[in-house]
Structure 1
Amino acid sequence: MLMHNPPHPGEVIRELCLEPLDLSVTEAARALGVSRKTLSAILNGRAGISPEMAVRLSIAFDTTSESWLNQQTQYDLWNAEQHRKELQVKRLVAA
């Protein structure tokens, strides 16, 4: 079942991980072992959570990598469903 308009995982990272720990983007990026630019793109919804980033987040915040990938999948799928009627797809059925 699709969540209604799920937040981008970057929003979750910012609100539930960085803000409570009073971490800057620079500090968090350093701890995650990624560039500030990479983390900023995720936090601002311009990039998604890759499997490797999911593992990094799971280590840093004591979560599961699956939870981060599931959030990204829910976000991506909800957005794709918003354009379902625009897709030029024919239904295939057995004869």
Structure 2
Amino acid sequence: MFTHVVLIKFNTDADESYIADVGSKIDTLPQEIEQVRGVAYGADIGLTSGSWDYAIIVELGAASDYEAYAKHPTHVDLAELIKKGVADRTVVDFDG
């Protein structure tokens, strides 16, 4: 199993509608992209100071699946949407 994690800090003008649109796009990943085995996402609940606003976790079968996932039009559309409302993001990819 290969896991792709994206942590996001939204712009101050990213409203609930925009964040809901991001979630809706994430929900389509397993149906649209063969390599995606599962997804999880959500807003930080505020228990830890200095935390990021939102996390996206995408599970793929193997690291070798990442290239096809990254180039898939559904992922590209999601990435473009995220760029519109994000002040910063970081990524962690790991096997296991």
After TM superposition, the score normalised by the length of structure 1 is 0.33
Higher relative contact order (CA 8 A, sep 6+): 2
| Greater Rg over alpha carbons, structure | 1
Q: Which has a greater percent of strand?
A: 2
